[in-house]
Structure 1
Amino acid sequence: MRSLIKQKISESKSQEIDLAPLLDVVFILLIFFIVTTVFVKETGVEVDKPNAVSSQQLQKSVFLIAITDTGQVMYAGTNIGVAGVRATLMQASRTQTRPLIIQADKSVPTELLVKVIDQAKLAGLSNISLATQAQ
């Protein structure tokens, strides 16, 4: 009788669930999602974009140029000015061809926007779009 009680007590203690394999799977999935995540590069400045009904989601692999309300032309957080657009885009597009998205503030003069587009075309880019805010 005594051995039967000891056997039941030892059986109840050994019926624990091992969580180590579950944690391994969770960490592997976490690492997988971290590695495969694609981040959209931003221009580094906040721009008040004009509204448009036909706005589309921003692509993940693009060149981004921002034109602030003060007329600064920004690329990757650096003020390159209108004169630096051509050289910067020529250097960046040597490795891969991607579309150019210009995020211009809605108060930017059209003349400045046209100058930036001209410099981008002289750099060899043909797929140029303007970023807008969805209404």
Structure 2
Amino acid sequence: MNSSEASGIDISPLIDVVFLLLIFFIVTTVFVEETGIEVSKPRAASSQDLERQSILLAITAEGRVWQGGREIGQDGVRAVVSALLEETPESPVIIRADSATPTQATVQVIDSAKLAGAGSVSLATEE
């Protein structure tokens, strides 16, 4: 070997493997769908975690209902929940109601979700 020749390691295959791993992890990642609005949830001592594949609804302090980043209103709850239950029939409905939300607004959303065919309707709380 000549002293003027530089010896080195070819890192092209390493870069290819890193990109393949990156693509693999991006494709297999499960993204959690949020409601699209931040609410101040009430506190509860008996809270528990529910599964990831759930239908999330948010109710603001003014009683406005949101799902998936868009406002659906009280009247749209039944149609939206029904459509989402057609895709995944066993999904629980989780309602993130603001702690200042009127009780009547929360009860109406629970009733609409039940009438849409939801088997499980839960309220999200803080521990």
Alignment TM-score, normalising by the size of structure 1: 0.84
Partner residue in 1 for 2:78: 86
TM-score scaled by length of structure 2:
0.89
Q: Percent identity?
A: 52
Which runs of 5 or more residues in structure 2 are unaligned?
Answer: none
**How far did 1:57 drift?**
4.1
60, 68, 78: which one aligns with 2:60 = 68
- 1:69 deviates by 0.7
- 1 CA distance for matches of 2:126 and 2:67? 20
For structure 1, the 5+ residue unaligned runs are: 1-6
Q: CA deviation at 1:54?
A: 3.8
The Cα offsets for residues 16-57 of structure 1, whole Å up to 9 and x where unpaired, read as 111111111111111111111111111111100112334344
Aligned ranges 1:8-23 → 2 under 5 Å: 8-9=2-3, 13=6, 15-23=7-15
Change (3 A) 1:54 1:23: farther
Runs of 4+ in 1 over 4 A off after TM superposition: none
Secondary structure at 2:3 match in 1: helix
The structure number with the bigger radius of gyration is: 1
Residue in structure 2 matched with residue 31 of structure 1 by the alignment: 23
- Taking only aligned residues, the RMSD between alpha carbons, in angstroms, comes to 1.7
